[in-house]
Amino acid sequence: MSNYSTPGADNRLGAAAYGAAGGNTAPGGPAAGHTPPDPDREPLRAPFPRPGFAGRRNPKERVSLGTLLADTPRLFVQLAKDELERAKRELTAKGKKLVTGAALLAAAAFFALTMWAVLVTAAILGLNEAFAPWLSALIVAGVFLIFVLGLVLFGVLAIKRSLPLTPEETLDSVKRDVNAVKGLGRYE
């Protein structure tokens, strides 16, 4: 059975080649070294769309080895392009998360500097007067501290979610493609 068969399709020779009653040995049948397809075995399918392939040929039409060999370089190039596009999409998504985390950390740094200025002001006012003016400055610094802690927490979480920067889905897909070329595993 060809690897390019359609789901549910019988063999390319038809039921007549195997004998309708099961005892005939027509040319190309079991006596010629051919066995009927196993109905429990799913046919192998290409792991990516084959552009233009279905439009050129009827899927039930038998494809020659020469045609398959001629299509192989184009299919490998298309596979490589598809995998690169997938890697670009995955890295772009991770990059956006990384930028978001970095922006939150930058905002936290700004508020930390502001908090420092307020704390310095509070210390100066605390030494110059009684407790009323600097106590209000410490309350403002406490509010800034809450903002800083929240921004740092969300920024660190956003960066951790984007790491590592390796395109894991793409690498898994490439491994499946390599195994498909080697003839290992199960493919749809």
pLDDT class of 13 with cuts at 50, 70, 90: very low
CA dihedral 34, 35, 37, 42 (to 10 degrees): -90
* C-beta of residue 12 within 8 angstroms of C-beta of residue 4: no
**Model confidence at 132: pLDDT above 90:** no
User: What pLDDT is attached to residue 46?
Assistant: 53
Global pTM?
A: 0.37
Asked if the peptide bond before residue 164 counts as cis, ω within 30 degrees of 0, the response is: yes
Question: DSSP readout, 123-144?
Answer: HHHHHHS-SHHHHHHHHHHHHH
Cβ-contact 177, 83 below 8 angstroms:
yes
